[in-house]
Structure 1
Amino acid sequence: MAKTRDGIAIGRRGLLLGSAGAVAAAGLGLWPRRGLAAEPITVAGIYTVPVEQQWVSRLHKAAEAAKAAGLIEYTFSENTANTDYPRVMREYAEAGVQLIMGEIFGVEQEAREVVLDYPETAFLLGSSFPPDDAYPNLAVFDNYIQDASYLSGIVAGAMSQSGNIGMVGGFPIPEVNRLMYAFMAGVREVKPDATFQVSFIGSWFDPPKAKETAFAMIENGADLLYAERFGVSDAAQEKGVLAIGNVIDTQADYPDTVVASALWHFGPTLQAALDRIAAGTFEAADYGAYSFMKEGGCSLAPLGTFAGKVPQSALDLVAEREAAIKAGSFTVEINDTEPKSS
């Protein structure tokens, strides 16, 4: 388990997101402050990668914001191997933590065995499987930001000159597949004949491998890359092609490369879990819908350095579709099957 300071676990860069600036960026103003009479809920995060990795950073950032608002006490462990995950779950449960959150995509059955042993502990875990009443204290969630991914695809289609687009993912699991399909659907709104090179690197955190995979796609004619993994935007920057980000906004690091990003906001998901724990109604449920755009769970990042460079026709279509998505009159298809190259 990570070392602690003032009751909060500090990983290799655990203080990074605990700064005042990071808390503000996490949307602190969106969290209602808990009254003085209410005890904060104790929360532990268990992450298989560093907390700065795209997906995990959203959980960590939301938890830091909830902690700053007085809603929770928060500790975490990062870089937890799948083989170690059940043991760390047990350690936190034995310590009396009220809510354990994290991702169990690579340790589904083993994690459920732990859940059964601690019926008084609430578990909110990223999973590719639906909720199961056999595990009444396990709520699942997934990264349903297909709405924002679709909008980023519209921007990508307008910015690609060749219509040859490279897409580098971690693993072909539903959470990744649906974002890729939504992105591709957005691209085809403005470039119906676009072609896609699709590859999965078999890792959630291997920037060098992602970079090399992206280089190969550029050599094969791609002039825009979908950066589902870290390392892709580095390749795009070195070769002078454009990129679209995923889950977090990295434009500050790649101001001439990353045009737009589909952002995930975990705050609504965490808030829903905390509300149910406080009310004593936490149960097996699917929290995936809290990632939808209409719930505030995702958004398209501001264009920033690319303001004025994206064709107005594409921006008009983005605005039209975003309004329709939020109103419920337009639905982005959810396709969880593995995407293939064109």
Structure 2
Amino acid sequence: MYKNLAAAFAAACFFIPALAQTATAPLKVGYVYVTPVTQAGWTRQHDTARREVEAAFGPRVATTAVADVPEGADAERVLRDLAQRGHRLIFTTSFGYARPVQKVAQEFPQVKFECLTCPQGAANVATANARYYEGRYLAGIAAGRMSQSHVAGYVAGFPIPEVLQGINAFTLGMRSVDPKAQVKVVWLNEWFDPAREREAALTLINQGADVLAFHTGSTAVMGAAEERGKLAIAYHSDMRAVAPQAQLLAVTHHWADYEKGRVKAALDGTWQPATLWGGVKEGMVRVGDFGPKVPRAVRDEVLARQRDIGAGRLHPFTGPLLDNTGRPQLAHGQRLSDAQIVGMNWLVDGVQGKLP
């Protein structure tokens, strides 16, 4: 009997620390990035949010970031590995991760996925995106005020709705203050290729663009504008460190508040597969970080229009709208619905060229 009691006591002593350790173990949070973590840009903004999550929750969380993961089979492998290593909340940061996330989420129903910029959720997949087009419209106003040639250049990644929204909103913002403005687009079919981004920027400058915008992942367009004495719109991050004279303003994206809320929900046991599409009003998109060449009047105008968007007084996609073939897309006084914006597959009047 005493022998059995001793064994039971020893077993209890063994399990109590183990249970305590499990109860206090941090929530393992994974992050999957589509590009390397550079000094500024799309992935830098997401990694900044990750570090803010760490600072907010301290030892309650442990994060792992895997960068430069191609969309497709490699993404599936990385997601599966993170799940198998005990990560119970995983953020992914590219539209092209949508299918890999859906597939791996079915294999690991106990893991919660946050598929940022993805179009579709699931029982354990939440989606979130930002209304980038709001910042693009504001940047277009600044470009229209500052351009001397009435021509802007736009270096674009892929012709997905998110990118088309940005090109169209930028063009509408520019033409709201300069009806003669035209926007020339170069498509790369890449998110991150600094050499090709730079080449595209120089091509657009040679075609008469004196203001550049881009929807790619590096700072190459900013560097090209700085080198050639032109202006450029920084995207994702403030890029004055790269282009101190060329930066007109920056359209910046802010993910930390969203991610901290989702991590807290996972820790509290209240996480649900929600969907969010936030913009200026929610603090997910902001313009600012004006360069030294921007007059005070232009700064004030852009910031006033930003307040209008945040208050719901200004909607970038308000009719009448024509596409660049002359076909009506929206009647006077009407606004595109969220469903129409999400499914956008046309270029607005003022954009030169066709969809690839």
Instruction: Please list every run of 5 or more consecutive structure 2 residues that lacks an aligned counterpart in the other structure.
Output: 1-22, 318-337
Pair 1:191–1:311, CA change in 2 (3 A): farther
* 1:226 alignment partner AA: A
1:167 Cα offset (Å)? 0.4
Instruction: Please list every run of 5 or more consecutive structure 1 residues that lacks an aligned counterpart in the other structure.
Output: 1-36
Q: Could you say which residue in structure 1 is the equivalent of 2:242? A: 253
Alignment of 1:4-23 (within 5 A): none
1:238 Cα offset (Å)? 2.2
Alignment of 1:193-342 (within 5 A): 193-229=180-216, 230=218, 231-289=220-278, 292-306=279-293, 309-310=294-295, 312=297, 314-333=298-317, 335=341, 336-339=344-347, 340-341=351-352
State the alpha-carbon separation in 2 of the partners of residues 57 and 252 from structure 1.
14
Are 1:141 and 2:128 matched, yes or no?
Answer: yes
State the alpha-carbon separation in 1 of the partners of residues 24 and 251 from structure 2.
35
What are the Cα deviations for residues 187-223 of structure 1, in whole angstroms up to 9, with x where unaligned?
1121111011012111111011111111111111111
What are the Cα deviations for residues 271-330 of structure 1, in whole angstroms up to 9, with x where unaligned?
2312332342323322222xx111111111221433xx3261x33432332222222222
Q: Could you say which residue in structure 1 is the equivalent of 2:170? A: 183
Calculate the TM-score normalised by the size of structure 2.
0.78
- Please say if residues 130 and 284 of structure 2, whose CA atoms lie closer than 8 Å, have aligned partners that are also in contact: no
1:95 Cα offset (Å)? 1.6
- Please say if residues 136 and 284 of structure 1, whose CA atoms lie closer than 8 Å, have aligned partners that are also in contact: yes
1:114 Cα offset (Å)? 0.7
Pair 1:328–1:198, CA change in 2 (3 A): same
- Please say if residues 308 and 314 of structure 2, whose CA atoms lie closer than 8 Å, have aligned partners that are also in contact: yes
Aligned positions, number:
298
Q: Could you say which residue in structure 2 is the equivalent of 1:14? A: none
1:130 Cα offset (Å)? 3.1
* 1:91 alignment partner AA: D
Are 1:69 and 2:56 matched, yes or no?
Answer: yes
Pair 1:90–1:297, CA change in 2 (3 A): same
State the alpha-carbon separation in 1 of the partners of residues 102 and 157 from structure 2.
24
RMSD between aligned alpha carbons?
Answer: 2.1
Q: Could you say which residue in structure 1 is the equivalent of 2:32? A: 46
1:73 Cα offset (Å)? 1.7
Pair 1:316–1:107, CA change in 2 (3 A): closer
